[in-house]
């Protein structure tokens, strides 16, 4: 019986490798544009630069057109087209759509890929977070993906191109303090997997990229201290008694390990494995549906917590997190 199951798993794996990886046949970047959201810093800025180096015409959106990312691209990569856009504002998306159409006509290119990268993260247990913190993550991380994809899908369809959505390890695995963020990334993964099936008859690829554990190498937690202060001010007396020490240790751990204001100095993120995943997702005729920039140790820990009975998997995660923040949770 076990031998038969092993045979089925082996055959399924080989078929997957053959069908999904599609060999190494590549497309040409000539005459193709790539639109990337959230290029103010971090992963979005890194991907804009990497895509431009691959030979694509890049259209990068920034929330702040005078901020770090926009200034860096203007100084070092002047061929990248920078457009201001807030993914939570439908009027901004409408303006972007027209600007992209004009840009495609001027450059004589087609929109080969949309990369939905814009994202925000507020670290904190669900009952700590204020409504505006929850709303921001849902609107940017999930509703923004839906709105931008809906607007640009006709252009992607014309090019028979691809939609690349940036997810996270938290798209299918969870840690304390990430209930809202995990919820948005689970939603993005569910949407992407279904959209991939819906778009297949029209030769549109839908790809998920998990860039890995990079909060300490980006600015995604730059505002965490302000968010934490707002949460703590909103605590009632019962919550202060219940969470006080744990909350302080929790936030201290984040500030120490992840919330550096400028972790890469004056240089943008440059992760070789992430760049390789982007290259494959943009250039391969048959890219994988999912790319993950995770080391083996982290993959194994995630797998163990999933394979264990829920009770023990949850305890293992709480034990690990408690050790990190130096507070006994179980």
- Just list the catalytic residues: 181
- Pairs from 93-98 (Cβ < 8 Å, separation ≥ 24): 93/147, 93/148, 93/151, 94/151, 96/61, 96/151, 97/151, 97/152
Q: Are strands 205-210 and 290-292 parallel, antiparallel or unpaired?
A: parallel
* CA separation for the pair 292, 314 (Å, rounded): 23
3-state secondary structure (DSSP) of residue 323: helix
Q: Is 200 buried (19+), middle (13-18) or exposed (0-12) by CB count in 10 A? A: exposed
Residues in the chain, how many? 330
Asked whether the beta carbons of 121 and 258 are under 8 A apart, the reply is no
3-state secondary structure (DSSP) of residue 89: coil
Assign 3-class secondary structure to 140-161: HHHHHHHHHHHHHHHHHHHHCC
- Sequence-distant (≥ 6) Cβ neighbours of residue 282 within 8 angstroms: 27, 29, 34, 51, 54, 56, 112, 113, 162, 164
């Amino acid at each position: 019986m076990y031998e038969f199951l092993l045979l089925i798993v082996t055959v399924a794996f080989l078929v997957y490798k053959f069908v999904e990886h599609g060999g190494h046949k590549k497309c040409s970047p000539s005459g193709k544009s790539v639109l990337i959201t959230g290029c103010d810093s971090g992963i979005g800025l890194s991907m804009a630069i990497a895509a431009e180096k691959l030979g694509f015409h890049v259209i990068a959106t920034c929330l702040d057109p005078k901020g770090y990312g926009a200034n860096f691209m203007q100084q070092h990569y002047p061929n990248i087209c920078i457009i201001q856009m807030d993914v939570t504002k439908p009027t901004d998306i409408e303006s972007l759509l027209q600007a992209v159409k004009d840009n495609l006509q001027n450059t004589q290119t087609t929109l080969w890929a949309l990369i939905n990268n814009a994202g925000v993260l507020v670290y904190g247990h669900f009952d700590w977070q204020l409504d505006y913190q929850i709303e921001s993550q849902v609107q940017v991380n999930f509703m923004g993906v839906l709105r931008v994809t809906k607007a640009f899908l006709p252009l992607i369809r014309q090019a028979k191109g691809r939609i690349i959505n940036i997810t996270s390890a938290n798209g299918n695995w969870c840690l304390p303090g990430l209930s809202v963020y995990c919820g948005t990334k689970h939603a993005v993964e569910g949407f992407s997997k279904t959209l991939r099936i819906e778009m297949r008859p029209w030769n549109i690829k839908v790809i998920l990229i998990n860039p890995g554990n990079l909060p300490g190498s980006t600015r995604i937690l730059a505002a965490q201290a302000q968010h934490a202060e707002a949460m703590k001010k909103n605590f009632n007396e019962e919550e202060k008694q219940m969470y006080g020490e744990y909350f302080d240790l929790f936030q201290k751990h984040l500030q120490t390990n992840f919330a550096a204001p400028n972790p890469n100095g004056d240089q943008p993120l440059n992760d070789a494995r992430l760049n390789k995943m982007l290259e494959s997702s943009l250039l391969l005729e048959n890219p994988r549906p999912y790319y993950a920039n995770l080391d083996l140790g982290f993959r194994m820990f995630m797998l163990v917590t999933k394979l264990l009975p829920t009770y023990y998997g949850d305890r293992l995660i709480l034990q690990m997190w408690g050790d990190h923040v130096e507070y006994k949770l179980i």
